[in-house]
Structure 1
Amino acid sequence: MNINATLFLQAVVFAILVWFTMKFVWPPITKALDERAQKIADGLAAADKAKTELAAANQRVEKELANSRNETAVRLADAERRAQQIIEEAKVRATEEAGKIVAAARADAEQQVVRAREALREQVATLAVKGAEQILRKEVNPAVHADLLGRLKAEL
């Protein structure tokens, strides 16, 4: 065998191998590499999109938290204001009730004073009759002198 023929034959086999590789082996490998690159790019894009959405969601959450804090503060202030109003109303009602109780007690005291005066007048009239009876040493008939005794009561 001649070295030139061997070299030429090896070059032809190599060319066939290169052509076969370029025709049948290389396209699936490139396709797989391109698909893998596309998957990686899609994954990176999805990660960036998720990161952006997470940041937006965090901003919305912070906004909602701030709104709920403000709303809570407003409700607490309203509750405190309402509690003060209820306390003031209770004080006013208690004052009115105390005034009614004092007025009722005064009216009751007045009635008791009037009753005591009437009872005292009765006793004074009885004593006056007894005193007059003893002075005159004779018996005075209260039925006969009822008008006189009534006027005496009125004067006392």
Structure 2
Amino acid sequence: MHLDATLIAQLVVFLLLAWFTAKFVWPPITRALDERAKKIADGLAAADRAKAELASANREVEQELARSHHESAQRLAEAERRAHAMIEEARRKAEEAGESIIAQAKAEAEQQVIKAREALRDQVAGLAVKGAEAILHREINPQVHADLLARLKAEL
């Protein structure tokens, strides 16, 4: 065998193998690699979208937490305002009730003073009539007696 013929035969076989590989083997491999690259790119894009959605969800959660914190602070402040208003209202009512009780007590005391004065006037008038009877040693007419008592009451 000849070295040139072997070399040419090997060259032909190599070229046939290269053509066969380029025609039938290489396209499925490149297609598989392209599909794999596309899947990886899609996965990376999905991961980026998921990361963006997670960041958005975190922002929404933080906003909702801030909003709920603000609302709870407002409710607490409103409850405190209501409590103060209720305390002030109770204090005002208690003061009004105390003033009313004091006014009633004063009115009652005044009525008792008036009754005591009337009783004292009656007693003084009775004593004055008895003193006058004792001085005059005689009985006074009941009509005159009533007039005398009325004048004494008015003077006292």
| Alignment TM-score, normalising by the size of structure 2 | 0.74
> Aligned residues, how many?
155
Any idea what SS the aligned residue of 1:119 has?
helix
- Residue in structure 2 matched with residue 83 of structure 1 by the alignment: 83
AA matched with 2:152: L
AA matched with 2:38: Q
What is the CA distance between 1:122 and its match in structure 2?
1.8
AA matched with 1:84: H
Q: Tell which deviates more after alignment, 2-11 or 113-122.
A: 2-11
- Residue in structure 2 matched with residue 32 of structure 1 by the alignment: 32
Aligned-partner Cα distance in 2 for 1:141–1:50? 121
Aligned positions of 1:124-135 closer than 5 A: 124-135=124-135
Higher relative contact order (CA 8 A, sep 6+): 2
Q: Percent identity?
A: 68
Deviations 1:22-71 (A, max 9, x none): 32332222211111111011111221222233223323333333343344
- Residue in structure 1 matched with residue 147 of structure 2 by the alignment: 147
What is the CA distance between 1:104 and its match in structure 2?
1.8
| Alignment TM-score, normalising by the size of structure 1 | 0.74
What is the CA distance between 1:141 and its match in structure 2?
4.9
Any idea what SS the aligned residue of 1:145 has?
helix
- Residue in structure 2 matched with residue 41 of structure 1 by the alignment: 41
Aligned-partner Cα distance in 1 for 2:152–2:89? 53
AA matched with 1:69: H
Sort the Cα spacing of 1:111 and 1:3 in 2 relative to 1 into closer, same or farther, 3 A: farther
Q: In the alignment, is the contact (CA less than 8 A) between 2:129 and 2:145 conserved in 1?
A: no
AA matched with 2:120: L
Q: In the alignment, is the contact (CA less than 8 A) between 2:125 and 2:152 conserved in 1?
A: yes
AA matched with 1:19: W
Any idea what SS the aligned residue of 2:104 has?
helix
- Residue in structure 2 matched with residue 21 of structure 1 by the alignment: 21
- Residue in structure 2 matched with residue 117 of structure 1 by the alignment: 117
Structure 1 unaligned residues grouped into runs of 5+: none
